[in-house]
Structure 1
Amino acid sequence: MIERAMTGAGGAAWPAMSDMHIRALLTAPGTPFEMAEALIGGIATRIWRNAPADLALLARASATHGDRLATIYGDDRVSYAAQYRAITALAAHLRTIGIGKGDRVALAMRNLPEWPVAFFAIVGIGAICVPLNAWWSPAELAFGIADSGAQLAIVDGERHARIGEGTVPMLVARPTGPVAAPAQLLEAVIGACADWSALPEAALPDVAILPDDPAAIFYTSGTTGRPKGALGTHRNLATNILSSAYNTTRTMLRRGEMPPPAPEPKTGLLVIPFFHVTACSAVLMGMMASGGTMVLMRKWDAGEALALIERERVQATGGVPTIAWQLLDHPDRARYDLSSLETISYGGAPSAPDLVWRLHESFGVMPGNGWGMTETMATVTQHSAEDYLARPTSCGPPVPVADLKVMDVDGAGELPVGEVGELWVRGPMIVAGYWQRLEETAATFIDGWVRTGDLARLDDEGFCYIVDRAKDIIIRGGENIYSIEVEDVLYAHPAVTDAAVIGRPHRVLGEEPVAVVHLSPGCHVEAAELQVFVGERLAGFKVPVEVRFSDTVLPRNANGKILKGELRGWFAVG
């Protein structure tokens, strides 16, 4: 741990209040963060009493933000009033074409103002939104549509071209080429962004939606190589609104500041994709509730991000450590006025402890971190400001409605404080299970707890430290890469008889995939050819950045499992 002296507001000793005192104060009866108990799947679970009961209510409430800007994308500046008109217009169209409660609608596009409109139009009528990774290959996108049973896909022009005709009917935003039936222009239904304010004033239809009804299916790669759909509920996503607000209030009290009576709308630069639960659940839900403004980018570029921070007076940004490093290291950083920045938060990938202090010292911002996963619809722990500076290797304590425990690896018993084991989590943010995967659901979700597959320890104050991953996963700049998925593609090459994909540490990306292969006798293939072979079948971020060849079969243990630890020494740090 990095030891440094900490002070709070006005140079006062930090922390001004203990965590236990703050929790008792903030969650007392009659407060905004009051907790209650609900039966979820037959199990008594702590919940936020004041969280929206469903996402249709959240969408309706967002209209009260009126002329405040909801999204900024280039020259498009969309107010909350205009956004709600577009949501209701699209919702009415979906019902007209036969989409109803429980039906699945795929959503595949870049971070565009149309994305939150489509999401809330879908969930606002009780249908299930299926956000698909916009970086996926045509085959991966087709799998997500087929596996979810989506009846319709709402896509941007690039995804329309990638998916092709004949899969499902599509609504296409910002097309890049001709759009032929059964596809239809989204603009023909709701108009372009600039036209949304002129749409008729309407309301979302009255649909009976319960808090634990399904709202979204977010795909996460599985260790079998097939993506699994995590079935998130309205309660799951709404929980993040109060979890994030609680953390903000707690942080102020810890340093001796008085929090405002209501959340203050902030302007944030969103650089992580909406199709990740972090952006959709942890960011979008809170922005809709508070009236914050999301500045969107077509694609990540650190130089453009610095210019947007200056131009739009951005107060918060982040996503994964990659983004923080690139902002820090950009050669033109000093040219921009970044004085509006208050926080840079990230998670989703390994990060160096010194990143915390570099952000604080270079930008004058308070850093933030947290832990969650697709199966928890994002936020479980949150770590920010002085707490994070004091414990830079921790991902923070759990939010009050969540519980953590560390179990031995076979799940037979709970381990004492300080010991490393598998992290188990429970709370109202835990998804209902995997879409149409009964066996995998039963193995992962047990009596309200989710087995995370992460190895962790807890300290005596409840702060969590992720020390390793039990699952064979590589996290490259926030994107999950399951090695078996890439290995299966390598094995499909006729020259390859043995293959292993591992993560090599990378200062900016956290990790990057590299591979070791053994070829069949008499075969020869260049590393670049194997990279092209993988790239033709999987998303680009999954392609190994380096391929090395072994003259012998790869080392294995007595059970036949490849000893990847021995292979890591083949690669220098990136």
Structure 2
Amino acid sequence: MSDVETQTAPSVPVWPVMTVAEAHARLTAPGERFEIEEKVIRGIATRTWKNAPPTLRDIFLNGRTFKDREFLVYENDRATFESFARATIALAHQLQADGVKKGDRVAVIMRNLPEWPVAFWAGILAGAIVTPLNAWWTGPELEYGLADSGTKIAIVDDERLERIQDSFGALPGLEKVYVPRLPGEPADPKVRRLEDVIGKVNDWGRLPDRPLPDVPLAPEDDATILYTSGTTGKPKGALGTHRNMTSNIMAGGISASRNFLRAGLPLPESDPHKLPQRVGLLVVPMFHATGLSANLSPNLNSGGKIVLMRRWDAEQAMQLIEREKVGSTGGVPTIAWQLIEHPAREKYDLSSLTSVAYGGAPSAPELVRKIVETFPASQPGNGWGMTETTATFTSHMGRDYENRPTSAGPAAPVGEMQIRDPADGKTVLPANAVGELWVKGPQVVRGYWNKPEATAETFVEGWLRTGDLARLDEEGFLYIIDRAKDMLIRGGENIYCVEVENVLYDHPDVMDAALVGKPHKTLGEEPVAVVHLKPGGTADEAELQAFVRSRLAAFKVPVQVVFLPEMLPRNANGKIVKTELKKLFEG
């Protein structure tokens, strides 16, 4: 997201006055803010942003130039950019004292707290590969992530500490765990209170001004491991570089600038130091690529204020929007729908909202119209991306989105998209033909952590095989049709069907099981299961739901279970025909 992103472009009688390609050509010309240059990265010629911050450390340094501006707001805690910087540097030095060397893994596992970005950037400044793990995961899932990544130091909140402390014996490489806001004293010798290093949030400004750790960082250095999942059901760590992360800084900004040009309007001021501070209500988790790459990093880079919530509550969100004069929020369609339909909405002044944007889940075209009707000063926006594309790959907002409500928008000009024949993975299909989406660009991660076979299958000669079935129109706007991978998305959370199915098969009464997505207005889709029991099996819906809940995160639990008296329908290859099963949940 950029500083011009929330400056609404007034409507003009003739629209658009130029094509997307013409707008991109002007914006990326030599000497312009969004100038593009080609670099050879790991042997592949790649278009890159010439003026993007080189590394995440540069984003940190850019943020520090805003000094006494507020950066993080959480309940009664408020941190300025300078106080955040001092806390981050203090923790970075502590990590070095703990033996963290360049390339070591430092995990961050907590809800959206002010300490989350401190932990993340402290790891970065110390040269670590920072590994944010899904705070919704169960204890066994977190143990897998910590073991697979080889985490040396973890920074976790007290809820996550409860989930992982029984796993300490199985994690010999985990040397120390820091915990903010821990009630009482640590019960394990490897656990330490984070406040002993950086103090409480409102006291961060009193920490000494120390130099940054002396660790050389370069754009192609590994920076992050963000876990996604694959069709095997086990999460895979997407290994991202500094360039992958910083490329999002420009991708969001050019979308807004493109809108101004297509409306025939001059580009607005882009220097964030000369603009009123942008305020965003961040309600998506920072452990997601969307929360980290498309929200947290751009706001730190350009002096934006981030308002955090302990957990999503629509009325509390409206109170915060009114109190903090929030200009942007969103993340997944659920957020927009709940704000629009809440019965208490008229009680609050939400006129500060100028952007309601989302991605990560299917959204109904009617949501675009509803946003425009409900928040007249606000621009709707969405986009498409994956963990493997470090969030934003396409972006869509304002007038373009209103005119193409079923599209996810065009790619940023550093990105390339192709629709290929799924049968051979090579034949490039013409405009409007449906096939598998392949993408290439500086935001595509370099592979999966310690999984060479999965890497070779998914990353081919600089291209990422997304597994999404899609089409591109004549002007390059992307339309996601379906997912080739067996996966559904519930309110922005990826659910890989095989993982839930494997748990159902572990139940002694289950003979046959399949998970499919049932359309849901606000969540996009929900997981529902179809099961055939073994002879004499007596398990009911509640028992199977409880069985899954005991082993997997709550968002993966089927909201409904349908029992069939016979085996599930299969095709000639023996695969379950899920299109038939979805019909059970229609209407």
Task: Judge conservation of contact 1:483–1:502 (CA < 8 Å) in 2.
Answer: yes
Question: 1:242 aligned to 2:243?
Answer: no
2:382 match: 369
| Partner-residue secondary structure (3-state), 1:466 | strand
Equivalent position of 2:133 in the other structure: 132
Structure 2 CA distance for partners of 1:55 and 1:129, relative to 1, 3 Å: same
Whole-Å separation in 2 of the counterparts to 1:489 and 1:179: 34
Contact kept, 8 Å, 2:133 with 2:145, in 1: the verdict is: yes
Q: Deviations over 1:191-211 (max 9, x none)?
A: 010110000001221211121
Match of 1:394 among 397, 403, 407: 407
SS at 1:275 equivalent: coil
Distance 1:406 1:10, change over 3 A: closer
Residue 556 of structure 1 and its aligned partner are, at CA, apart by 0.6
Q: Deviations over 1:469-512 (max 9, x none)?
A: 11111100000000000000000011111100000000111000
Q: Deviations over 1:95-121 (max 9, x none)?
A: 001011000011100000101111111
Q: Give 1:491's match in structure 2, choosing from 479, 486, 505.
A: 505
Question: Does the CA-based 8 Å contact 1:56-1:125 persist in structure 2?
Answer: no
- Does residue 286 in structure 1 map to residue 298 in structure 2? yes
Q: What pairs up with 1:383-462 in 2 under 5 angstroms? A: 383-410=396-423, 411-462=425-476
Give, in angstroms, the shift of residue 255 of structure 1.
2.2
Greater CA deviation, 260-269 or 311-320? 260-269
Runs of 4+ in 1 over 3 A off after TM superposition: none
TM-score by length of 2: 0.95
Deviation at residue 8 of structure 1 after TM alignment: 6.5
Distance 1:119 1:203 in 2: 18
- Indicate if the aligned counterparts of 1:157 and 1:177 stay in contact, CA closer than 8 A: no
* Alpha-carbon spacing, 1:367–1:10, altered in 2? closer, same or farther (3 Å): closer
Asked if 1:179 corresponds to 2:167, the answer is no
Moved more, 54-63 or 84-93: 54-63
Quote the residue 2:481 is aligned against: 467
1:540 aligns with 2:554: yes
Q: Deviations over 1:267-304 (max 9, x none)?
A: 00000000000010111111111100000011111111
Task: Please report how far the alpha carbon of residue 9 of structure 1 lies from its aligned counterpart in structure 2 after TM superposition.
Answer: 2.7
SS at match of 1:501: strand
1:476 — aligned with what?
A: 490
In structure 2, how many angstroms separate the alpha carbons of the residues matched to 1:276 and 1:8?
30
Q: Secondary structure at the match of 2:317?
A: helix
Structure 2 match to 1:268: 280
Structure 1 counterpart of 2:20: 19
Instruction: Name the residue aligned to 1:525.
Output: 539
Aligned pairs, how many? 567
Q: Distance in 1 between matches of 2:278 and 2:489?
A: 29
Q: Name the CA distance, whole Å, in 1 between partners of 2:12 and 2:226.
A: 44
2-structure distance, mates of 1:269, 1:219: 24
Q: Which amino acid is the alignment partner of residue 333 of structure 1?
A: R
2:315 maps to 1:314 = no
Which stretch shows the higher mean deviation, 253-262 or 49-58? 253-262
Aligned amino acid, residue 355 of structure 1: L
Report the 3-state secondary structure (helix = DSSP H, G, I; strand = E; otherwise coil) of the residue aligned with 2:243: helix
Q: For residue 241 of structure 1, what is the amino acid of its counterpart?
A: I
Matched, 1:170 2:184: no
- Report the CA distance between 1:14 and its aligned residue: 1.6
| Letter in structure 1 aligned against 2:290 | T
2:3 maps to none
Greater mean alpha carbon deviation, residues 20-29 or residues 283-292: 20-29
Question: Quick one: structure 1 residues 250 and 42, their matched pair in 2 at CA, closer, same or farther if it must change by over 3 Å?
Answer: same
In structure 2, the residue matched to 1:342 is 354
* Alignment partners' CA distance in 1, 2:525 and 2:585: 12
For residues 475 and 184 of structure 2, the distance between their equivalents in structure 1, rounded to whole angstroms, comes to: 57
Aligned to 1:3: none
| Whole-angstrom CA distance in 2 between matches of 1:95 and 1:372 | 34
Distance 2:491 2:206 in 1: 40
Task: Provide the C-alpha distance between the structure 1 equivalents of 2:258 and 2:431, rounded to a whole number of angstroms.
Answer: 24
Displacement after TM superposition at 1:151 (Å)? 0.7
Unmatched runs of 5 consecutive residues or more in structure 2: 1-7
Aligned residues of 1:16 and 1:255 also touching (Cα < 8 A)? yes
> How far, CA to CA, are the matches of 2:353 and 2:574 in structure 1?
52
**Contact residue 56 and residue 204 of structure 1 kept, 8 A:** no
Please name the residue that 1:229 is paired with: 237
In structure 2, C-alpha distance between the alignment counterparts of 1:320 and 1:230, rounded to whole Å = 21
Match of 1:211 in 2: 219
In the superposition, the TM-score normalised over structure 1's length comes to 0.97
Partner in structure 2 of residue 70 of structure 1: 71
Check whether the contact 1:66–1:79 (CA below 8 A) recurs between aligned residues. Answer: yes
| Aligned counterparts of 2:554 and 2:281: Cα–Cα separation in 1 | 25
1:502 aligns with 2:516: yes
Determine what percentage of the aligned residue pairs are the same residue: 56
Letter in structure 2 aligned against 1:429: Q
For 1:260 and 1:253, the matched residues in 2 are separated by 14
Q: Counterpart of 1:366 in structure 2: which amino acid?
A: Q
